[in-house]
Structure 1
Amino acid sequence: MSARTVLQEADIARALTRIAHEILESNRGAEGLVLLGIPTRGVTLADRLGPIIAGIAETEVPVGSLDITLFRDDLSQHPTRSPKRTDIPDGGIDGKTVVLVDDVLFSGRSIRAALDALQSIGRPAAVRLAILVDRGHRELPIRPDFVGKNIPSSRTERVNVRLKELDGADEVTIES
């Protein structure tokens, strides 16, 4: 298998800064925003986005995580998935603009599961989607609001996101 690097550390940092600006512009500021990362790497990305947004808007933005394991439609194929932690920030999500954060958008099934999980917790005023890498090949009518990079890929290729906090380095590679 050959892998090629499509994003390096500086590219990821730039993409997250741009996403932060776009989120603030779309929301007309930081008021009422809540960031929820989808485990595993979406949580790390949300944890990075929070301080970037806070630095731009000069106000804290609540950051949490949303486990989607029990809402997935492929549990019968992958029954060994262990649930991760759901951490809803103080103040909850009711009436807030929730930005779901994930690393790669592919079929859209994880995001569908996230929407179901979110619905079981509360009723946000709006839900937005921030993705580091959109690789296409959607199976569901789901489109991200904020994208770090569109990376066209074939269904046989694998997009790997590595983040310092989890993997020791920041990079996005494509394996064929």
Structure 2
Amino acid sequence: MKITETRIPDVKLIEPKVFGDERGFFMETWNDQTFREAGIAETFVQDNHSRSVKNTLRGLHYQIKQPQGKLVRVTRGEVFDVAVDLRPESPTFGQWVGEYLSEDNSRILWVPPGFGHGFLVTSETADFQYKCTDFYAPEYERTIQWNDPTLKINWDVDSPKGLLMSAKDQEGQSLEQALAELKEYY
């Protein structure tokens, strides 16, 4: 398993060794010892699985209390996955990292607590699975606008009109609007 830092060192890209033959494949997606050695010493309490169609954009989600670290991967299709540092005291605050995750590349992304997270489905459908370090708490969930002008995330979409988003995601707040609350909790 190869674990490397991204442009934001706390976000890690994990590339498992995939052993395949005519029967199929095998890969290890979590190994506590290997991850601890790479600086990911977390306990996971919840696993989630979502299926989405092409042009679905989910995020940018975070929780102000019970922040969730997420170990994310795609088991069918492909997504462009984004992590945004929302920790006001961090030297990388407001910066983002994006990686393509797919069933073909088998990549996994570690998104630490204190980060906003979202993804855009680039294939016809995508199954997205992730482990969380804390439980989902809807009363503490917040959303940053996917197209916040200060973040300048390059989602590589021609027109936002074709995107499929929940009402919650369409009504996300700007990073500037979220800053006071972020300073209070992070």
| TM-score (normalised: structure 1) | 0.28
Structure number with the higher helix fraction is 1
TM value normalised by structure 2: 0.27
